[in-house]
Amino acid sequence: MRTLVTMLLLCGAALGQELPDAPSFSSTPQTRTADMAFWLSTGAYGASIAGDAVTRSFWVGRTSSCPREGIAAGLHGTRHPTSARAGLVMAGEFAIASIASYEFKKHNLHIGKLRLWDLPFVTRTYSHSHDIINNLADCH
């Protein structure tokens, strides 16, 4: 009997309490990591890599005016990379830079006003675009 009375008293006390408010979402807008600026930078970087892979595999080492590669000759392993080898190396480079840039942007890493997520794309886009121009000018 004592157990029944204790249980009724505890249940009555529990029913008399109000439920806490439901958790509310903050009114601040949440930013997306993969926003339009990220996808535009990724697209520009992908286009520069694709152009460099195509010009490198078609012309480097096949013409007398362009006998060998420039700076990254060791990366591709031979003086004249095959189309598959050039494409796979640059696809790996694209994946690594995209993942690094996404992680930098997700964690909002910056030095002063310089956003670090731009760096992998900007530096490599410049170098691949420079290689495309050199391949078109010298090797074609």
In a domain, 52, yes or no: yes
Buried b (16+ CB within 10 A) or exposed e, 39-53: eebbeebbebbbbbb
How does residue 95 score in pLDDT terms, banded at 50, 70 and 90?
very high
Quick check: pTM over 0.75?
A: no
In a domain, 18, yes or no: no
pLDDT in tens, 100-127: 999 999 998 888 888 888 888 998 899 8
In a domain, 23, yes or no: no
In a domain, 106, yes or no: yes
Backbone conformation region of residue 108, classed left if phi is above 0, alpha if psi is from -120 to 50, else beta? left
| Tokens at 36, concatenated | 């339009």
The range of the structural domain enclosing residue 120 comes to: 32-139
Measured distance CA(33)–CA(79) in Å, rounded: 40
* Lowest pLDDT segment from 14-28, 65-79, 88-102, 125-139: 65-79
Could you give the number of structural domains in the chain?
1
pLDDT confidence of residue 113: 86
In a domain, 16, yes or no: no
In a domain, 24, yes or no: no
pLDDT confidence of residue 136: 83
Query: Burial of 11 by CB count in 10 Å (0-12 exposed, 13-18 middle, 19+ buried)?
Result: exposed
pLDDT in tens, 8-62: 666 665 555 666 666 666 666 667 788 898 999 999 999 999 998 888 777 766 6
